[in-house]
């Protein structure tokens, strides 16, 4: 039995967020094809994720003990470590990820938990795990010239790779705000793509 962590980063409802329309469908299909897996949903807005304080930063660099697993924010790093698969539902905001997701990443990118330092430098501790990023965008960011501006999926893939997660996929509904596009058709096609990936994820 695998443990999947479903991370949601949007204040909108499941019905009004185009990202969540796709991610909820992905999770539904995943449950059908992986009935024995455990799914943990983490809505970052409901969790009340905040920016790190000076005290928080001191805790990050402090020695880790058994009680660290119950720390107000270090517990998220341990939860991330214990999961086998990750689903990030995060739209593109202003060419990048929502700020609350970056704040969460600061919670989980902790030396001694999700990565460590060695004589050769940093080494990720999440080898063998895999992730999918589900993202809706208003424009087209897969091809030039605007692909150069895309810093949302690129960042998420890079930071997860830093922690050792090298099996990473993107499910993206793009061009949703471009005048004249058939938005329903775009989302319908992406839902089908999400289904196929969920079945074998």
Residues that constitute the known binding site for FMN: 92-95
Are the beta carbons of 136 and 22 closer than 8 angstroms?
Answer: yes
Coil, helix or strand for 32? Answer: helix
Which has the closest alpha carbon to 135: 100, 98, 161?
Answer: 98
The binding site comprises 92-95
Instruction: Quickly list DSSP for 82-134.
Output: H-SEEEEE---BTTB--HHHHHHHHHH--BTTTEEEETTEEEES-TT-EEEEE
């Amino acid at each position: 039995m695998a443990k999947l962590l479903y991370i949601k980063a949007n204040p909108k409802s499941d019905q009004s967020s185009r990202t969540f329309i796709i991610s909820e469908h992905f999770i539904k299909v995943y449950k059908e094809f992986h009935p024995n897996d455990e799914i943990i949903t983490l809505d970052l807005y409901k969790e009340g994720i905040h920016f790190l304080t000076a005290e928080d930063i001191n805790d990050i660099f402090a020695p880790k003990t058994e009680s660290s697993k119950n720390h107000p924010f270090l517990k998220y790093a341990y939860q991330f470590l214990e999961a086998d698969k990750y689903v990030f539902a995060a739209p593109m905001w202003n060419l990048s990820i929502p700020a609350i997701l970056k704040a969460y990443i600061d919670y989980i990118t902790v030396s001694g938990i999700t990565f460590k330092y060695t004589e050769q430098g940093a080494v990720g501790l999440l080898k063998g795990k895999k992730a999918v990023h589900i993202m809706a965008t208003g424009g087209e960011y897969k091809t030039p010239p605007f692909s150069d501006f895309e810093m949302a999926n690129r960042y998420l893939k890079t930071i997860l790779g830093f922690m050792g997660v090298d099996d990473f996929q993107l499910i993206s509904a793009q061009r949703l705000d471009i005048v004249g596009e058939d938005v329903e058709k775009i989302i319908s096609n992406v839902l089908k793509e999400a289904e196929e990936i969920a079945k074998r994820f």
